[in-house]
Amino acid sequence: MSKESHMTAEDIYKLRQKRLDVINKETSQKKSERELKASLKERVPEVLEKLEESIILSFNNYAEGRNSKFDNSDDFTIYAQLVMKSQYHVDEGVKLKMEEWSEIRNGLNQLLEKYQLVLQDEDHRSYRYPTEIDGQRLFCIGFIFYVKLN
């Protein structure tokens, strides 16, 4: 008589746990993505403030003779750096396209108009911005835009 294989309650419990683990992992990832996007939306004013500071710094450096770049070029770079909670937040944050950062894009457009600048490159995104302060590694995203005088 051949022994037939059959499932037992223990097998069902193991399969159920595997399925629950997969579902919980997916749910956890989606929750983390939502939290990340919400966190970044809250920090839009901080990004815009840093972008404006970057513009002002470039203009002031030129006015004080410390940046002769504008003597023969109209283009320059503005940037903002955000410290994030974790490497995960950095990795996920840099995956977002600028279309998903509409609040930053709208604020950037206002800054460009205010300071009479134009965007050089429409395809912008955020970048990993490795930073270390006093030997401590920080998880940062950098927003970098190439602009020029209008």
pTM for the predicted model, two decimal places? 0.71
Across residues 102-125, what is the average pLDDT?
86
pLDDT of residue 50: 95
Across residues 29-36, what is the average pLDDT?
74
Supply 22's token pair: 């997969």
Q: Are 116 and 150 in contact (CB under 8 A)?
A: yes
pLDDT of residue 42: 85
What angle in degrees, to the nearest 10, is found between the helix axes of 44-63 and 9-42?
40
Supply 142's token pair: 């950098």
Is residue 11 over pLDDT 70?
Answer: yes
Is residue 2 over pLDDT 70?
Answer: no
Is residue 138 over pLDDT 90?
Answer: no
Burial class (CB within 10 angstroms; exposed 0-12, middle 13-18, buried 19+) of 54 = buried
Is residue 16 over pLDDT 80?
Answer: yes
